[in-house]
Structure 1
Amino acid sequence: MGADSEIDNLVLYDGVCTFCNSSVNFILDHERHAQLHFTPLQSVKGQAILKQFDLPLDYTDSLLFLNKGALYSQARAAFRIAGFLEIPWNWISVFRFLPPFITNFFYRLVAKHRYKLMGQADACILPSPGVRNRFLE
């Protein structure tokens, strides 16, 4: 990837969250085409994007998705990412038509309890060699 303006289809995730890392692995396992790129929110690239979009540098409230210069969070990010997955997982994106106050309620409920559900790691997990080139840092 070149300059920041060229970054597209970037998933930003909480690198120390076991649930979030499992979600990234799920995406990698079920993606239709290798179009998505990944970086932890705690990485240098993640921190630069948080700063660029005026989010706190300790932001871990939501998975983020950077696409065509727009940054999506919470359920909107999840639904956009789901569109890159194979059938039947991409059907989740149909819920993007529901009002955000409904979808984000459920998103925040899971996000609030994610450390309790699956724990927390001491550091970001390293990607396997086969997909390492899709991780910016």
Structure 2
Amino acid sequence: MDKPIIFYDGDCGFCNKTVQFVLNREKNQEIHFSALQSDFAKSFFKKLGVGEIDLSTFYFWDGKKLNNRSTAALKVLNHLKFPYSLGKTGWLCPRFIRDGIYSLIAKRRMRLAPPFCAIPTPDQAVRFLS
């Protein structure tokens, strides 16, 4: 699949709020979404040779490569409207620092937001892959 896809923990309120954030700030409504627990995600990752899916990790398929953690988040910024796209300056920070900050947030993600399920509009719903 050559479409960009965000893979997220469907049981995580913080992750669902992140999906809602992206939906509301995208430039071109081209990103698709899939919960890591979905059959689509399991099949997709299996085809890529990924053995075990880490539910605490945010993944982004850019159409060619599967990215994770802070790199995935920075790649998503390319698809957001100004001023959110300015977050791309995060590339200036070394990956080990970016991923360290990512890990701190990922460990606390269940406490950062209450359970939340994004209800997509009918136009958005077609971009959710299950």
Q: TM-score, normalised by structure 2?
A: 0.90
Contact 1:40/1:46, CA 8 A, preserved across alignment: yes
Taking the aligned partners of 2:31 and 2:100, their CA distance within structure 1 comes to 26
Match of 1:41 among 36, 56, 59: 36
Match of 1:71 in 2: 66
Q: Which amino acid aligns with 1:37?
A: H
Match of 1:3 in 2: none
Backbone CA RMSD of aligned residues: 1.7
Match of 1:104 among 76, 89, 99: 99
- Structure 1 runs (4+) deviating above 4 angstroms are none
2:122 partner SS: coil
Contact 1:19/1:119, CA 8 A, preserved across alignment: yes
2:33 partner SS: strand
1:38 partner SS: strand
Taking the aligned partners of 1:11 and 1:24, their CA distance within structure 2 comes to 8
Match of 1:127 in 2: 120
Q: Which runs of 5+ in 2 are unaligned?
A: none
Matched, 1:50 2:50: no
Q: Which amino acid aligns with 2:52?
A: P
Residues 130, 68 of structure 1: alpha-carbon distance in 2 compared, 3 angstrom cutoff:
closer
Taking the aligned partners of 1:136 and 1:120, their CA distance within structure 2 comes to 21
Taking the aligned partners of 1:18 and 1:130, their CA distance within structure 2 comes to 22
What is the aligned-residue identity percentage? 29
Moved more, 63-72 or 47-56: 47-56
Q: Which amino acid aligns with 2:50?
A: D
Q: Which amino acid aligns with 2:86?
A: W
Moved more, 124-133 or 80-89: 124-133
Match of 2:82 in 1: 87
2:41 partner SS: helix
Q: Which runs of 5+ in 1 are unaligned?
A: 1-5
Taking the aligned partners of 1:34 and 1:97, their CA distance within structure 2 comes to 27
Contact 1:15/1:125, CA 8 A, preserved across alignment: no
Number of residues paired by the alignment?
129
2:43 partner SS: helix
Write the deviation string for residues 8-64 of structure 1: whole angstroms up to 9, x where unpaired. Answer: 21110000101000000000000011110101000001111232332414x212110
Matched, 1:15 2:10: yes
Q: Which amino acid aligns with 1:54?
A: V
Which structure ranks higher in relative contact order (CA pairs < 8 Å, sequence separation ≥ 6)? 2
Matched, 1:136 2:129: yes
